[in-house]
Amino acid sequence: MARRSTSSSTGRPTGNPSGPRNRTPQPVRVRRRTFGDFVKAFVAFVALLALVVGVPGALAMTVGWPLPHSAPTMDWLSQPIGVDTFLNTLTVIVWLAWAQFTACVLVEVKAAVSGVGLPGRVPGAGPSQLLARQLVAALLLVGATAASLTPGLSQLGHSMEGNQKGTVAAAQATPGLLAQQQEQAKSTAAALAEQAGHAAAQAQAEHGSTTAAHGATKYYRIQPPEGRHHDSLWEIAQRHLGDGRRYKEIYELNKDRVQPDGSRLSEASLIRPGWIMEMPGDAHGGELVENPDAHVSPDVQQQIGDYARTGDHAQQHQQQQQGGQHAGEDGATAQISVPSQRQAGDAGTPAQAHDASGHASSGSASGSASGSFFGSAFGLSEALLGAPLLAAGLLAALGRRRRQALWQSALGAVGGRRGMEPPTPTGDAQDVQDALLVGADPEGVRLLDRSLRGLAAALTAESRSLPVVYAAWLSHGDLHLQLAQPAGKPPAPWQLGQDQTFWTLSRADAERYEDTDAAAPYPGLVSLGTMDDSRLLLNLEAVPGIVSLSGREADRAAVFASVAAELATNGWSDRMTITLVGFGADLTPLAPNRLRHLDDAEALFEAMEAETRQRRGALGAAGHDSVLTGRTGPAQHTRWAPNLVLLAAQPSAEDAVRLAELAADAARLGIGYLVGTESADLPGASWAMEITPDGKLLAPLLGLELDAQLLPAVQQRAVVELFVEADPERDPDGPTNAPPFLVDISEQGRPAVYARLVGPYEIMGLDTPDGDRSALLHEALALLLLHREGVHPRVLSSALWPRGVTEDVRDALLDRLRAWLGTDPDGSPRLRSDATGRLVLAKSVVSDLDVLRSLYYEATQGKGVGSRAVRGRLLTDALVLVRGPLLADRAEGRYRWLTHEIIDAQLPLLVADIGLALSAFHLEKDRAEKAIEALGAALKTAATDERLWNELLRATHATGDPDRVRALAADLVTRSGARGLPPRTEALLDELLPTWRDGAAATG
């Protein structure tokens, strides 16, 4: 049997049929040796001879022994320096330089002859080793066995699990040599590929007549791994059928047949060396074996003969020949194995919908309902429902943006907008917000973040460096890190996976992790999609080169937007820069501190060339091999933050070459490149991916076929709109937003159902539900009361059942909720669906929060503006409603959806605004005690609001009692603790009580 050619030897890592693999070098034009090559080799030989042999010979003959023949005395120090002394000193320096160069030559020759890894680095010999390497390479590449003597150069910069440290060291020592070595390696590999191709063609020609005459069946024997790479059905189909997607035909021909080792082929990606694959009739290539075939060993003939008799496949084979190229495409879809903790025997069983953390997704569980709430025109964005980590990041960032707007409004940073209500999204923005609420998995993000930081802390405690991680898989609740190369035994509770390149952490162990101050070790991880209920996160900053993405422009844009949005908002990184080039819609509003938008490729090169130089210098000065070394130990957390470049536009040919040069050393510098291209061939691309119109992300040479994670243009614009609307500095002079629901606060506006949410939860006007369902009904009503604009049914079900719910249970709850709320006197239901299908409460159902907002609005912008008496009464009535924090007595484990809300920030600010307004109302008439009473009531709910304490100091000072001011100042100092008083409070105390620091010092 013909051996595999060098040019197609890429396979999968042991035990990881689905994991990423290195890109197979593309065939290039064969460059034959010329007369000039021989001249270069001769010159290199002469130069090496002169430098290694001639220099010491000349020194010995002309200068002789340069060192003293006896031990020097103290008198030697006072002797004048003559010509002989100078020459001897210079000779010693030349001898040392010769010794260093000779060591470099020996190191380079040893590495070239052994063919293993990259040459070692001789300390302080950068230029000398570069010269030695060039001379040795020029000499050896001319020989007939040059390919075998060149140390793995064809994989330089592309190896998925090769010697990454060697690549880093070589690139650091001689950054200008990488491109030259790669070019030499490509020429060598192409020459070998041509030779293998000629041999294959000759073998096929010799056996072609026999095949045609006898109609012999063709077989392929799975090759043993070459290095760390294994054979795959995709590559076999690519080589012998011309299309990697035809791997399914090979799978169908051979599935469930007994192999020579007694096992069976059950999954397309689980193949082992020595197995035999029957091939479709149109298979071609010199690696195939026909039955019978005298050119293979008797043992192999026997194995193939026995395999040919297993099962009844002759008829299927005939159908393959008659049915055309893709006859097997209608068969069972092969499952690609990913790291998981599957139970034996579950292969082929339809899996339940799981989110990134492995638990059932509420969006999937409730999203397929066909009831009245789920018409074809009333669906949420499936792209966001199926992206739990992206949705969680966007939702958390949006919440932070809205809280920031509230705080700036409260502190007067935005003119005239105190008590500002966030705008209620509508249209696509509302649908996207609902999709984020349904699809988000903040618990999964929290576990991922804690697990990675816990790993970093454990490695630091053991004085170990972080391993290079190319990808992470979230599978059935477990986390699997795929390493570039074996890194020993992981620290507990991590365990080795199916082989030495996988570190695995179960969900149960991840939940035991606590928060740690370790730096985020792998901030460049970003979700690409799912496969077999497992989510893949690619570590963009660790890829040794460029990741290219081909496909239609709109499809590529959806992938780029998803990657950019998740990187900008994810919860498992500290600080990073995402450089965007060629994006139609500017995503910077999502994270202005992380996202950087550049206009074109020229601006990119200007920025990244400077940053690449700066990072190389910083790593060298710090003595680190890569940024990973700087993320463990005593390093600053903000150092070595990644810069991930997303170039969505197709680069020109010249730009592609410049980009490849930039990316050659990017992995160790913490720089990653994802580049869009119209074709699959991009110079310098280590990993090539393709996005198809049906949402599949293909990376055949990595063994990946994912359901891609996308952010289509419509959802992208809606997400940006949500963030723009929440910008605290947007339209600072605009009108104050009114509350989403204003109630009639007159006596005639008495509601039929009144719920008290501010403080302990109470409901008046309804009977208490019987049984254990009462708590669930109360929680559902609270969610509806906090969203008077309407609640999507899927948002309601995912809030009440975050781990998923079936349709019958959800529908039963809605029926009970309608029956419990009842109808108004006119017969209209108090829980109805609006035109968009969202659940909306009738105006007769009111909460104290609605009343509180309405009273403050009327006092400051309504009836109270023109009447002091009305304003005082409205503010007093509002403060009376405040009985404590929101839902003060809620049961533990319930109301977790409140973490997605900003009401926890809104309510204290609203109460503080009411207290401040009422205090000012009383101080206008010199009623200091009434002002103090109002401020004290507000502080029960907004105890950390600095504005209330400062106003309390002013009101207390207005009483004219310095002892009370002094006591209040001491209380504030005690409350502040080690943090100290805020600057504004200190300045106010200096004005009101200049001696307060003496009392504070005495107390301390």
Per-residue model confidence as pLDDT tens digits over 170-185: 333 333 323 333 344 3
**What is the side-by-side order of every strand in the sheet holding 753-756?**
762-764, 753-756, 845-847
Average pLDDT value for residue range 14-32: 37
In contact, 885 and 941? CB cutoff 8 Å: yes
Q: Looking at 77-210, which runs of residues are DSSP E strands?
A: none
pLDDT confidence of residue 892: 80
pLDDT for 536 equals 93
pLDDT at site 186? 41
Identity of the residue numbered 629: T
Cα gap 543→525, rounded to integer Å: 11
**What does the pLDDT read at residue 866?**
87
With residue 538 as reference, give the H or E element that holds it.
strand 534-539
Among 403, 430, 436, 501, which residue's Cα sits nearest to residue 21? 501
- Rounded-to-integer distance, Cα 451 and Cα 329, Å: 41
* pLDDT-above-70 percentage for the chain: 72
pLDDT digits (tens, 9 = 90+) for 219-249: 888 887 665 456 778 778 888 888 877 888 8
Q: Residues 866-912: pLDDT tens digits?
A: 899 999 999 999 999 998 889 988 888 889 898 888 888 888 888 99
| Beta pairing, strands 289-290 & 218-221 | antiparallel
Report the C-alpha gap between 689 and 630 in whole angstroms: 30
Q: Is the peptide bond before 642 cis (omega within 30 degrees of 0)?
A: no
Task: Classify residue 190 by its DSSP letter.
Answer: H
Q: Which of the two residues, 253 and 264, has the higher pLDDT score?
A: 253
Q: What is the pLDDT of residue 205?
A: 43
Average pLDDT over residues 721-729: 84
**How does pLDDT run across 203-219, given as a tens digit for each residue?**
444 444 333 333 468 88
- Got the DSSP string for 365-394? HHHT--STT--TTS---HHHHT-HHHHHHH
Inform me whether the pLDDT recorded for 353 exceeds 60. no
Question: Rounded to an integer, what distance in angstroms lies between the CA atom of residue 170 and that of residue 136?
Answer: 16
- Whether 348 has a pLDDT exceeding 90, the answer reads no
Separation in Å, CA 694 to CA 368, 565, 599, 697: 20, 21, 30, 9
Considering the chain, what is the average pLDDT of its residues? 76
C-alpha 90/C-alpha 97 separation (Å) is 11
Distance, CA of 118 to CA of 107 (rounded, Å): 10
Of 80-84, 742-746, 753-757, 816-820, the least confident: 80-84
Range 242-267 average pLDDT: 81
Q: pLDDT band at residue 155, thresholds of 50, 70 and 90?
A: very low
* CA–CA distance, 661 with 675 (Å, rounded to integer): 14
| DSSP class per residue in 625-648 | SSTTGGGSTT--TTTT--EEEEE-
Handedness of CA 951, 952, 955, 960 (dihedral sign): negative
pLDDT digits (tens, 9 = 90+) for 633-673: 555 445 678 899 999 988 888 888 889 888 888 888 889 99
Structure token digits, residue 916: 């401040």
Q: What is the DSSP letter of 791?
A: B
- The closest alpha carbon to 245, from 685, 705, 702, belongs to 705
Q: Which two tokens stand for residue 775?
A: 């708590």
Residues 91-110: what's their mean pLDDT? 81
